[in-house]
Structure 1
Amino acid sequence: MNNKRNIYLMYIIVFLQGFVFYGPIATVFRENRGVSIYQIFLIESISMILIMLFEVPWGIFADKFGYKKTLVISNFIFFISKIVFFKANSFWIFLFERILLSISISGLSGCDTALIYLSLDKNQNSERVFGRYVWFSNVGFLLGSMISTYIINISIDLTAYYTIIPYGIAFGVSLFLKNITDEVTKKENVKNKFKYSLKHVAANKYIIIFLVGISLVKEVVQSITVFLNQQQYIKSGIDIRYFGILLVAIQFMKLISVKSYKLSNMIGQIKSINMLTIAVFISSSILIIISNAILSFLFVSVISIGMAIMEPMIIDIKNKSISSGNRATILSIYSMIESITSSIINPIIGFVSNSALENGLIACSLISLAAIILIRYFRKINIEN
């Protein structure tokens, strides 16, 4: 089914939601509001658990009542969470903001890509479309980071205030989406939907190995590029005023993700993901021992770009592994598996990072090594099958 309007509107929504003006100083912002590094990771861990709990109910809701309704509600909560973030000044309010964010993300997770996937023509290259979807998100974040450089010079608090505006507009844009629902799955009751979806995942049990491996590398990338990178920059003598410029440079380089399908066409999706995960492992290992500004920026960039290139491939692999209805529910179960893994790994990284930056990077290096082993095993199984 072709529905270009849905695809273009989803591009606009993720573009607008890329305007996170406080992104370059996310850790510093929270610390200035009285939250420690350990508390930041603790909040992240709680968030992962909540996402895990909300994933499947949202997936069932989307399959039963439609993807548009799910996206509209989720984007509205996303918008409200940004208002709360701007007002937050303690651990508990930041936790409340993260609870709202978890509800929103679990609703958007899988539902956004399912809507896009079902809006495609059969002859369209789905990975290419997903690559553009990630690209628009990166462009939004790139522009937001560029603008944030000027906002930071005025006030750190304003970075959170101005972030509210594009998220409000993104919610408004979501109202114009066209609903796409599988009429067969719509008639099923909730119990049957969940039971059927679990059977589908169980029948394709090797995908679980892939999901765990991917969630491990995602958690490493999230930890380094969102939280630990700022401490690494400070250790390397980089002034906070340049954090936004560095993030802009990284976001600009991440735009290469729109061409990820060319790499997977040459050497295969899983082999490409494995190769990029190795790059994450090597980079995180090197960061442990260096304190040079240029090298720190270089290897943080490699980690961030590697994940950006992987993302369209991961989305495509997950969607193509589903050959029947209840797509949103199955994708939600996939996300739940990832969230379970992340909720275990996140507090470990947070705990060791609280004692020393180097300890956190060592943990990230070991976790990315485990991801390599799992992804290589998944690739071996796929070759054999």
Structure 2
Amino acid sequence: MNKKINVYLMYIIVFLQGLVFYGPIATLYRQSRNLSLSNMFLIESVSWILMIIFEIPWGWFADKFGYKKTLLISNFLFFISKIVFYKANSFEMFFLERVLLSASLAGISGCDIALLYSSVKHEEGEKIFGRYSAFSTGGYLIASIIFSIIVRQSMNSTVFWTIIPYAAASILTLFIKDIKVQHEEKPKLRESLLKALKNKNIILLVISFALINEVVQVVSVFLNQSQYLRSGINIKYFGMLTMIMQIASLISIKAYKFSIKLGKNRVIQILYITIIISCMALVLTSNAVLTILSIVLICGSAAIIYPIVLDIENKNIGNADRATLLSVFAMFGDLTAAGVNVIIGKTADISMPSAFTICVVICVLAYILFLIYNYKITKGYSNEN
């Protein structure tokens, strides 16, 4: 069986799921449908908690019953969530959309990476993860370009047209070739959980990256639009700015080259510092050029870090319960993100500088955790030699 077909299918699927035509006005669309900014952050926090609940059972299900079945169910739920989002006009409907989305993302999380890693030579992992991330970014980039055309009809039309690629992605999942992982018995959930908990160094890395990643998520999805307005940028340029951010994120496709040249840990440290400095700039500035430059650096840095962290995680776990362990690690990330989201959401109601100040504090904490992880790894390596 040519397992490489899975890689190409997953590239196409994640590209289609990147075609979120309403992305540049996601916050404004929700507000037009009677959802306040504080309610958005509340739903987002509940969403992270739901993902924590769903993560490990989904990972165990994937290892026991197969990656294909898990992705098929999850991508179908993803498709349904977009229909609900289109119909939503109240807190309850947006909450339902988020429940479906949480169940979907928890199922995909870990399972997609496990499928990709099991479908290629392990030394190709970081390169494949970088391309996988780039295809998702590429989809969103195309969507940002097309957005300026579709939005002329209405904001609603941007959501309606998003439903179609998600339906196609759901159908394409049917053609994935399942991976048969060889092990004497089906993985036990309790044993997999204990195994993950013993890997304290990776958990440190996961929590560190989750802190950084949530800051990047909040800045690039929620706070950016308010910061643009604060900087005097007209709303008609939001689509173009989203496109610029996605172009910056396409650098993930070359992440493995940075690792080869400088080493994984050094690259991560440099990029963490870049994100911290960029968030500090957003605290102090209302200048349009500095705002755009800072957000570009934040998005680009996170795009390079992502495949590197995934590769480190995968190299530290075995095949038999790969999806379960990745889901356990993701659960720690979700738990961290849920707390961070609430804190940033509260400060965002005060002012943009307050929100970005909290982002700086969180990024510094993430950097400290990474330094601890790096020290432990280096010390462990020295002891072995």
Counterpart residue number, 2:106 = 106
Q: Is the 8 A contact 1:287 1:361 kept in 2?
A: yes
Runs of 4+ aligned residues of structure 1 deviating over 6 Å after TM superposition are none
Letter in 2 for 1:353: A
Pairwise CA RMSD of aligned residues?
A: 1.3
Taking the aligned partners of 2:320 and 2:263, their CA distance within structure 1 comes to 27
Counterpart residue number, 1:126 = 125
Q: Is the 8 A contact 2:281 2:290 kept in 1?
A: no
The reply to whether residue 146 of structure 1 matches residue 141 of structure 2 is no
Letter in 2 for 1:55: E
Q: Is the 8 A contact 1:21 1:145 kept in 2?
A: yes
Aligned to 1:19, the other structure's residue is in SS state coil
Counterpart residue number, 2:383 = none
Letter in 1 for 2:147: S
Aligned to 2:349, the other structure's residue is in SS state helix
Once the two structures are superposed, residues 138-173 of structure 1 have per-residue CA deviations (whole angstroms, 9 ceiling, x without a partner) of 111100111011112221111111100000000011
Per the normalisation by structure 1, the TM-score is 0.96
Taking the aligned partners of 1:308 and 1:121, their CA distance within structure 2 comes to 22
Identity %: 47
Counterpart residue number, 2:347 = 352
Counterpart residue number, 1:248 = 243
Taking the aligned partners of 1:198 and 1:80, their CA distance within structure 2 comes to 30
User: Please, which of 281, 289, 294 is the counterpart of residue 289 of structure 2?
Assistant: 294
Letter in 2 for 1:30: R
- Output aligned runs, 1:237-316, within 5 Å: 237-316=232-311
Aligned to 2:56, the other structure's residue is in SS state helix
**How many Å apart are 1:377 and its aligned residue?**
1.2
User: Please, which of 201, 210, 226 is the counterpart of residue 221 of structure 2?
Assistant: 226
Taking the aligned partners of 1:371 and 1:320, their CA distance within structure 2 comes to 22
- Output aligned runs, 1:315-330, within 5 Å: 315-330=310-325
Taking the aligned partners of 1:33 and 1:290, their CA distance within structure 2 comes to 31
**How many Å apart are 1:233 and its aligned residue?**
0.3
- Output aligned runs, 1:205-216, within 5 Å: 205-216=200-211
User: Please, which of 311, 333, 340 is the counterpart of residue 338 of structure 1?
Assistant: 333
Letter in 1 for 2:329: Y
Per the normalisation by structure 2, the TM-score is 0.96
Counterpart residue number, 1:70 = 70
Counterpart residue number, 1:178 = 177
Letter in 2 for 1:83: I
Counterpart residue number, 1:56 = 56
Q: Is the 8 A contact 1:86 1:160 kept in 2?
A: yes
Q: Is the 8 A contact 2:55 2:327 kept in 1?
A: yes
**How many Å apart are 1:92 and its aligned residue?**
1.3
Aligned length: 380
Counterpart residue number, 1:157 = 156
Once the two structures are superposed, residues 219-271 of structure 1 have per-residue CA deviations (whole angstroms, 9 ceiling, x without a partner) of 10011000000000011111111100011112112211100001111121122
Counterpart residue number, 1:31 = 31
Once the two structures are superposed, residues 284-305 of structure 1 have per-residue CA deviations (whole angstroms, 9 ceiling, x without a partner) of 1110111111111110111111
Q: Is the 8 A contact 2:248 2:299 kept in 1?
A: no
Q: Is the 8 A contact 1:193 1:329 kept in 2?
A: no
Letter in 1 for 2:118: L
Runs of at least 5 residues in structure 2 that lack an aligned partner in the other structure: 381-385
Letter in 1 for 2:356: L
Once the two structures are superposed, residues 318-358 of structure 1 have per-residue CA deviations (whole angstroms, 9 ceiling, x without a partner) of 11110352111111100111111111111111011012122
Counterpart residue number, 2:95 = 95
**How many Å apart are 1:2 and its aligned residue?**
5.6
Letter in 2 for 1:109: S
Once the two structures are superposed, residues 352-379 of structure 1 have per-residue CA deviations (whole angstroms, 9 ceiling, x without a partner) of 1012122111111110110010011111
**How many Å apart are 1:101 and its aligned residue?**
0.2
**How many Å apart are 1:213 and its aligned residue?**
0.6
